[in-house]
Amino acid sequence: MSDSLSLHIALIHYPVYNKHREVIASAVSGLDLHDIARAARTYGVRSFSVVTPLADQQKLARRIVAHWTDGFGATYNPNRKEALSLVNVRASLQDVVDDISNSDQVKPKTVITDAKPHLHQISYERLTQMLKHGSPYLLLFGTAWGLTEDFIDKADYVLSPIEGRGSYNHLSVRSAAAIILDRLL
Amino acid sequence: MSDSLSLHIALIHYPVYNKHREVIASAVSGLDLHDIARAARTYGVRSFSVVTPLADQQKLARRIVAHWTDGFGATYNPNRKEALSLVNVRASLQDVVDDISNSDQVKPKTVITDAKPHLHQISYERLTQMLKHGSPYLLLFGTAWGLTEDFIDKADYVLSPIEGRGSYNHLSVRSAAAIILDRLL
């Protein structure tokens, strides 16, 4: 991408809620990696970080990425290689923030995406405008039943939830990520 | 949904191209059903038809739907039940058109979604306006490497492809369906 937008995304596997609102580290899904990487590549996102503190899950995520960037998949389907080469596997949000601070020479602002409304939330139009100023933003997506309240409270911004037509709002994180990137970029 | 829009969608497993541009019937993916049904329910789509001429694939699709609408899944996750109850499994596009003609008392116009640009294509704004007139439209999504040219030629309209930022355009059908419904509805 030759423009000056610096949008990064991260898929957070810890700390998230399970169905019973207990705090867990969720399992990495190969399909989340593929779908979100392809959407990220389509919309010119700078990097896509998969965040989990669990060593075996990091290893799994790295194995999936390596299959498509260096292994058999790289020659079988070069489009996937192009998408999955955006992926970094990291242990924590702090590691991702450090990466971007190093590459962009300025600390990124963090932006939560969540299915629920929050008191202080910003609109898609507002964030699109903010992105045009060129400083880096890091969009955070939760897995399982969503990011914990503590985690959300520590972020710089919360983006408005996606609202469809009616009260039903149970998109997969894959669908939500695609829609949010389309709206912002 | 209490409004008068009548948008239906269908996921077509035949006739589509494979990687080598041969015409095939693709395999049904449970994840496509889940993700697209959840997006369809979120945006107030009237029905979601899974189209395959293969009896074993119809059976597989019906088993997945039944698990979540009548089986264990219905009590485990009622949100999935609400989404998957939109799903019909049909052998051909003609069967879907007949269903809608019966329920809406008027034959739906068919609208192709495709990743490639076509000579006569309509914009998202235009289709949104057309939907407001209340007559039924049936949006067609291809699987595998896309709908065949013959199939596309027979449809009433072709929707503009999704364009991101740059030349890369390899979204999954799950991501594309979510973005298109968000743009239209």
pLDDT tens digits along B126-157: 999 999 998 999 999 999 999 999 999 999 99
Q: Does A43 touch chain B (CB under 8 A)?
A: yes
pLDDT in tens, A87-144: 999 999 999 999 999 999 999 999 999 988 888 899 999 999 999 998 999 999 999 9
Of B126, B159, B153, the residue nearest B141 (C-alpha): B159
Q: Calculate the CA B162 to chain-centre distance.
A: 15
Which CATH number goes with the domain that contains B52? 3.40.1280.10
Provide the pLDDT for residue A69.
85
From the CA of B29, how many Å to the nearest CA of chain A?
Answer: 12
- Whether residue B1 is contained in a domain is answered as no
pLDDT in tens, B87-122: 999 999 999 999 999 999 999 999 999 988 888 899
- Whether residue A2 is contained in a domain is answered as no
pTM: 0.91
How many domains does chain B contain in total?
1
Contact check, Cβ <8 Å, B168/A42: yes
Say which residue the tokens 């207990």 belong to.
A22
- Whether residue A1 is contained in a domain is answered as no
Provide the pLDDT for residue A168.
83
Structure tokens at B185: 């509805």
Q: Which residues have CB under 8 Å from B123's CB, separation 6+?
A: B160
pLDDT in tens, A141-171: 999 999 999 999 999 999 999 988 888 888 9
Q: Is the ipTM value over 0.90, yes or no?
A: no
Q: Does B1 touch chain A (CB under 8 A)?
A: yes
Residues β-bridged to residue A158: A112
- Whether residue B16 is contained in a domain is answered as yes
Q: Which residues have CB under 8 Å from B130's CB, separation 6+?
A: B122, B137
Provide the pLDDT for residue B169.
81
Contact check, Cβ <8 Å, A82/B41: no
Give the DSSP per-residue string, chain B. Answer: --S---EEEEEE-SSEE-TTS-EE-PPP-HHHHHHHHHHHHHTT-SEEEEE-S-HHHHHHHHHHHHHHHTSHHHHH-HHHHHHHTTEEEESSHHHHHHHHHHHHSSPPEEEE--SS--SS-B-HHHHHHHHHT---EEEEEE-TT-B-HHHHHTSSEEBPPP--SSS-----HHHHHHHHHHHH-
Q: Which residue of B170, B179, B182 is in closest CB contact with A83?
A: B170
Average of per-residue pLDDT values in chain A: 92
Is the pLDDT assigned to residue A77 strictly greater than 90? no
Q: Calculate the CA B15 to chain-centre distance.
A: 14
Q: Does B42 touch chain A (CB under 8 A)?
A: yes
- Whether residue B145 is contained in a domain is answered as yes
Structural domain for B15, as ranges:
7-184
- Asked if residue A107 lies in contact with residue A58, where contact means CB atoms within 8 angstroms, the answer is no
- Whether residue A168 is contained in a domain is answered as yes
Q: Label residue B3 by pLDDT band (50, 70, 90).
A: low
